[in-house]
Amino acid sequence: MSCSVQVAVRVRPFNSRERNLNAFCCISMNGRQTVITDLSKKNDEKKFTFDYSYWSHDGYREEPSGYFSPAPGSLYADQKQVFSDVGQGVLDSAWEGYHACLFAYGQTGSGKSYSMVGYGENKGIIPIACEEIFRRIAQNKDPAKSFEVSCSMLEVYNEHVHDLLIKPSTRPPGGLEIRESKVLGIFVEGLSKRAVNSYAGIQKIVDEGTSNRSIGATLMNATSSRAHTVVSIELHQVTTMNGKQGRRISVIHLVDLAGSEKNDQTQAIGDRLKEGCAINKSLSALGNVISALADKAAGKDKGRVVPYRDSKLTRLLQNALGGSCKTIMLCALSPASSNYDETLSTLRYADRAKQVKNFAVVNEDPTLRLIRELREENEKLRALLEGNNGASRGLSEAERKVLEEEHQKEIRAMENALHDMEKSFQQKLEESQKQAAAQTAQGAVDSATVPHLTVLNEDVLLSGQVKFAFPHAPGQLWIGKKKGDWTPDVSLSGLGIFPRHCSCAFDAGKRVVYLTVEEGVNYTFVNGEKIGNKKLVALKSGDRLVLGQAYAFLVVFPAEKNPRLLEEYTYDNALQEVCVAQGEVKRAKPSEAELQEEKAKTEAYRKQVEAMQRAQSEFEEKMRQAALKASAEERQRLEEEFRKKHEALDREKKELQRKEMRRLAAETDRKEVEATLVEILPRVKEANLIAAELNKPYKLVPSFDMCFTSTGERKSKVLISVKYCGKLVYEWTPAVLDNRLFLMRDLLEKYYEETDKDGFLR
C-alpha cells in the first residue's frame, strides 16, 4: 500500500522572552495553508499547504483544571484536537496491523515536547495514545483474541544509542549497536523491552526513561536539547483458532527529534569542526534521506541510493521513511519574527517531507515460522563464522579477527532475540515487574513529603525529574566530582566542579537545610550570590543553587506546598541570576523607574492620539454646522478647508505613529541585546574556562555590530569576538557559539580521560 508521509504544523504562543520583547507574529493560517511573512521586507509572504495546520498561538482559555481549551469562536487547536487528527491516525494504523511512526521536528523551544508529551492537565500525544491503547483493549469482546503490549525507550546522543531504561552508570560506554536481520529487520541489540498490561505500566516506563535521561544529561554535562528520543510501543494482536496461533504485529515509534539548529551560512564558512559535529550529523543526514526519497517519489534520479547508513538516527528510522510504515511528521513553529529564518527552514523541511512515499504492509506472521526463520538465519551466521563459504579467504589475520568478532556479535544478538521470542507474554510481564520494582527500590525520593534538591535542566520537560533527599544531620549529602576512591552522593563533572565541592544536611528540629562549601569556593552560588569557604548557609524552599559553570538545582520543601516552583524558577533564570548578581551584565529585568518611564511615554502617546482624534471630530462637527447655513459657494470653500485640515491632521497622526514605532523598535532592540547578553554570558565564561583548562590562548568576548534591515532601519547584533593571543580571528553568532561549545565540552571530556595529556593536545 503506497502512502505519502502526512505532515502537520503547529504554531505555539509567544513565550515570556518574546512577550517581554514585544515580539511580532510572522505566522498566519487559513485552513490547511500556513503563511510566513518576513516583516523586515515589506510583508514578503511565503505560502505552504500541509495535511494539517494548527493555530495554537492565541484564542485559548484556561479551565479550572489547568487545561487550555479554545475560547468561544476561536481557531485555537488544543491537545485533544491534535491527538484526534494525528495521534488517532497513528493508532488506527497500528490496529490494522501496520507499523506507524510519528516524528516531532522543530527548533529548540518551538513546542515539540508540549505536543508530544504535554504538561500537567494538557497531556500530549504520547500519554493520550497510551491511554487509548488500553481503552481499546478493554473494549475487546472476542474471546479468541488477546493483546500483548511492550514498550522501550532510547536516546540518540552524539551518535551513540542509549537505553533509557538502564541507569546511566551501568550502560556500555559506547552505547548499543544497531543490527539488521532478514527476519527481524532493523533492531537495537540489547535494548530493554518491558511488557506492560496497563496505561500505568507505560507511564512508569516513560517516567523512568525521562528520569534516566535527565540523570545522564547531568552526569555528562550534556545538552539535552541535542538528543533524539524514541518511545517504541509494540502491539501484538494474538488470535487463537483450533489450537493454532496467529499474530498481527505493529510497532509504534514516537520520535522527539533534537532541536533543529539555527542556520547561519556566513558563520559556518571555515568552521571545519562543525562538519564533524555528531549532533548536526543526525539532522543533516535525516534531511538528506528525506531529499533522496522525495526525488525518487518524483521520478528523479531513481537509481540514487538513500543514505540511511549516514547516521544512527536515520538507520534506526529507516523503516519509517520509505519503508513499510505509515508515518506522520509534526513540525513545531515559533511565531516570533526574530525566529523567521529558523521557522522558514522548518516549513521547507516539512514541505519536502510530505513528498516522501512509504509502502506499508500488514504484518501478520505466525510465531513458529518467525522462530524457525531466526534459527535458520543463526545457522547461516555460524557457517559463515566457520569459513564454510570462504568469506574470510584472502584476508589478513587482523581483518579475519575483526570479521569473526562481528559475526560472533551477530550470533549473540540473534540468540538473544530468539530467546526473547520463545518466552511467553506472562514471563515477560513478570520480568518487567521485577525490573520496575528493582528500579523503584534504588533510592527513589518521596518528593511529596521529603525535603530534597532537584535538578533544573534547560529542557523544562527534564527539570524536576532527578531528586536528591537531604539526610538528617549529622548525615550529609555530598556534591562533587568522582576522584579515585571518592564518589559523592551527587556526582557531577565539568569545569568548576571539585571532588568535595559542597555538602548539605537537614536539621529536622529547626526544619532548615544547611549548605557548607568545601572545595567549591568561587564556584558555588545561592540565588546568584557567591558563597565563601566553610560558610554555613541556611537554605529555604525555592532557593536556587548553582555549581560550577552549568549545574543548577532547586531546593524543595514539599510541606510548603508550592506546586508552581518549577514554573517560577528555570535553568536559564538560575544561571542568568548569577551573571546579574555578580555584576557581569546589566539586569535584564527593568527597574521600577524604567517601567514608570516606559509607562509615561506610552500614556503620552495615547493622550496625543486622543487629542488629535478629538480635534478632528470637533472640526468635522464645526464644518457640518457651518455647511448647513452656507451658500453653495461657501460650502465649496468649507469643503476645501475641511479637506486640507483633514490631510494635515492625518499627516500629524502618521508622523506621531512613525515616531512611536521608531521608539518601540529602539526599545525592543535594546531589550533584545540585553536578553541575548544575559543568555550567552554563562556560555562565554564556560568556553573561556575550557580554553584555559586546555592551555589554549583563546579568549571570547561579547561584542556588538550594527546592521540595516531591508527598510533601512538600524538594528543591533550581538556577536562573540574570538581572539587568539589578543588578535581577532573569528566573530561568532550566538548560534555558532552553541555549536562550538558543544564540541569544546566533548574535547574536554576526552582530555580528562586521556593519560598522555600533552600528547593529546599536540
pLDDT interval class at 132 (50, 70, 90): very high
pLDDT interval class at 388 (50, 70, 90): very low
Quote the CA–CA distance of 58 and 69 in Å, as a whole number.
Answer: 11
- DSSP category for residue 700: E
Question: Considering only 240-249, 452-461, 627-636, 663-672, which range has the smallest mean pLDDT?
Answer: 627-636
Whether the CB-CB separation of 23 and 34 falls below 8 Å is answered with no
Quote the CA–CA distance of 3 and 327 in Å, as a whole number.
Answer: 9
What are the C-alpha distances in Å from 718 to residues 67, 123, 732, 734, 735?
38, 37, 9, 8, 11
Within a 13 Å sphere around the CA of 307, how many CA atoms are in the beta-carbon half? 15
- The grid coordinates listed for 268 are 559556518
- The grid coordinates listed for 692 are 584555559
- DSSP category for residue 412: H
Binding site membership for ATP: which residues?
Answer: 106-113
Query: What is the distance of C-alpha 490 from the center of its chain?
Result: 25
- The grid coordinates listed for 648 are 494635515
**Residue 476: CB atoms within 10 Å:** 17
| Whether pLDDT at 400 is above 70 | no
Cell numbers 481549551 label which residue? 69
Binding site membership: which residues?
Answer: 106-113
The alpha-helical segments, DSSP class H, found in 306-366 are: 312-316, 340-353
Which of 38-47, 300-309, 324-333 is most confident? 324-333
Cis? peptide before 474, omega within 30° of 0: yes
Residue pLDDT, tens place only, 485-529: 898 988 888 788 999 999 998 887 777 889 999 888 888 999 989
Global confidence as pTM: 0.74
Query: What is the distance of C-alpha 592 from the center of its chain?
Result: 35
| Whether pLDDT at 402 is above 70 | no
Give which of 83, 106, 11 is closest to 53, Cα–Cα: 11
SS (H, E, C) 374-399: HHHHHHHHHHHHCCCCCCCCCCCHHH
Whether the CB-CB separation of 305 and 81 falls below 8 Å is answered with no
Q: Look at residue 583 and give its three-state secondary structure.
A: coil
| Whether pLDDT at 60 is above 90 | yes
Quote the CA–CA distance of 32 and 29 in Å, as a whole number.
Answer: 7
The alpha-helical segments, DSSP class H, found in 632-729 are: 632-693
| Whether pLDDT at 15 is above 70 | yes
Residue pLDDT, tens place only, 579-589: 888 776 655 45
Question: Considering only 28-32, 50-54, 357-361, 470-474, which range has the smallest mean pLDDT?
Answer: 357-361
Classify residue 640 by burial, with Cβ atoms within 10 Å: 0-12, 13-18, 19+.
exposed
Q: Which CATH class is domain 452-581?
A: mainly beta
Which sequence spans correspond to the domains of the chain?
2-359, 367-441, 452-581, 592-761
pLDDT interval class at 383 (50, 70, 90): low
- The grid coordinates listed for 543 are 532557593
pLDDT at res. 294? 80
Q: What percent of the chain has pLDDT over 70?
A: 75
Quote the CA–CA distance of 657 and 655 in Å, as a whole number.
Answer: 5
Question: Considering only 93-107, 238-252, 286-300, 624-638, which range has the smallest mean pLDDT?
Answer: 624-638
Residue pLDDT, tens place only, 684-737: 988 998 998 888 999 999 887 777 655 566 777 889 999 999 899 999 988 889
| Whether pLDDT at 56 is above 90 | yes
Within a 13 Å sphere around the CA of 729, how many CA atoms are in the beta-carbon half? 12
The alpha-helical segments, DSSP class H, found in 43-84 are: 79-82
Question: Considering only 124-128, 435-439, 714-718, which range has the smallest mean pLDDT?
Answer: 435-439
Which is more confident, 318 or 279? 318
CATH of 2-359, one of 2.130.10.10, 3.40.850.10, 3.40.640.10, 1.10.10.10: 3.40.850.10
Angle at 481 (CA atoms; ends 476, 487), nearest 5 degrees: 60
pLDDT at res. 499? 92
**Complete DSSP assignment for 598-626:** HHHHHHHHHHHHHHHHHHHHHHHHHHHHH
Quote the CA–CA distance of 53 and 9 in Å, as a whole number.
Answer: 5
Which is more confident, 29 or 368? 29
